[in-house]
Structure 1
Amino acid sequence: MKKTLILVRHATAEDQTLLTKDFDRKLNSKGLAEAAVMGEWMREMDIKPDIFVTSPASRAYETAVITAGKLGVDVGSLVSNADIYDGGPEAYLAAVNTVPETYSKLALFGHNPDITYFAEYISGASIGSMKKGSVAIIEFENFKWEEISAKTGNLALYKTPKQVRDVD
């Protein structure tokens, strides 16, 4: 059975200040627009994940909530995984490897540089650096979630908000 992993880097967030912890940074107006554009694009492309797993950091969680809303998914079903915030690419792999087999499409919302490293690790593709709000779709043929590891997937698509619609 084919598995599809939809990696989403959080959209543009407010700058870090002395008063705001990195974890608590929220999306700014550009980020809100980027997340909405990408959610609408996913709906138009009929990319609808069965399960949403997200970093609990504000900017990633907000990106997941906006995307879920555009796809008509109950935000109460979002799964928060604290390890994704600062656990390195290994945390992304652990999150993927523990998804129940009843799901075939997983959306994983996270942060650079780890999300880019992870995308390149499992696909063997060279993405460069995932742009804020961008989506990388990686497909796996005849693998269970627990079997996914280095170079087991194929990068099917990489799309940035700017490519979908200029939100600047």
Structure 2
Amino acid sequence: MKRHLYIVRHAKAEDGSSFFGDFSRELTTAGQIDAARMGKFLADNGLKPDLLVSSSAARAYQTAQIMAEQLGYEVEKIQTTRQLYDEGPKAYLAAVNTAPQSCQHLLLFGHNPDVTYFAEYLSNANIDSMSKGSVVTIEFDDLEWAEVSARTGTFVSYDTPKQLRPNL
């Protein structure tokens, strides 16, 4: 059975000089639009997610909420974890390795540079630096989530909001 992992970097957020601090930074209007575009793009390409797991930081969770709405996924079912905010790529691997075996399509929402490192670690692809609101898709053939580790995935695509914006 094939499993698909969608690694999502949160969309554009308020700048870091916000009064509330980094963890509480929220999406800008442009970020909200980009997250909706990416969610619609994935839905239009047939994605029916089984599980969404997000960093509990405001900007990542808001990205997950907006994309969930576009994908027809119940927002209340999004799982959040602080570890995807500040515990590095190992936290992303732990989230994948503990996903239910019934799950075929898993979306993880997080932060750079961890999301880029993690995507490269799993697929051996050279992504450089994921842009805000982008999605890397990685496929796993005949692996349980618990077996996923370095270079066990096949890079499928790297999609960015910029690719989806109308040419003005």
**TM tier, shorter chain?**
over 0.9
Counterpart in the other structure of 2:23: 23
Tell me which residue corresponds to 1:103: 103
Query: Is 2:84 the partner of 1:78?
Result: no
Tell me the secondary structure at the aligned position of residue 47 of structure 2: coil
Secondary structure of 1:5 counterpart: strand
CA-to-partner distance for each residue in 1:50-107, whole Å, 9 max, x for gaps? 1000000000000000000011111000000110001100000000000010111100
Equivalence for 1:155: 155
The yes-or-no answer on 1:38 pairing with 2:76 is no
1:125 corresponds in structure 2 to: 125
Q: 1:14 — aligned with what?
A: 14
Q: Is the 8 A contact 1:33 1:167 kept in 2?
A: no
Q: Secondary structure of the equivalent of 2:20?
A: coil
Tell me, which stretches of 5 or more residues in structure 1 are unaligned? Answer: none
> Once the two structures are superposed, what CA deviation does each residue of 1:103-152 show, in whole Å capped at 9, x if it has no partner?
11100000000000000000000001000000100000011000000000
What is the aligned partner in structure 2 of residue 56 from structure 1? 56
CA contact (8 A) 1:9 1:60 kept: yes
TM-score by length of 2: 0.97
Contact between 1:121 and 1:151, CA under 8 Å: does it hold in 2?
yes
* Matched pairs, number: 168
Q: Secondary structure at the match of 1:121?
A: helix
Instruction: Give the % identical residues.
Output: 51
Residues 54 and 61 in structure 1, CA contact (< 8 A), matched pair in contact too: yes
Report the counterpart of residue 165 of structure 2 in structure 1.
Answer: 165
Aligned 8 A contact 2:50 2:106 in 1: yes
Cα distance in 1, alignment partners of residues 99 and 27 from structure 2: 27
Q: Which amino acid aligns with 2:4?
A: T
Q: Secondary structure at the match of 2:72?
A: coil
Deviation at 1:167, TM superposition (A): 8.6
Cα distance in structure 2, aligned partners of 1:121 and 1:134: 17
2:116 counterpart of 1:112: no
Question: Structure 1: which amino acid aligns with 2:64?
Answer: A
1:68–1:75 CA contact under 8 A, matched in 2: yes
Letter matched to residue 8 of structure 2: V
Deviation at 1:20, TM superposition (A): 2.0
**TM-score (normalizing by structure 1):** 0.97
Deviation at 1:16, TM superposition (A): 1.6
CA shift in 2, pair 1:18/1:8, >3 Å: closer
Q: Could you say what secondary structure the match of 2:150 adopts?
A: coil
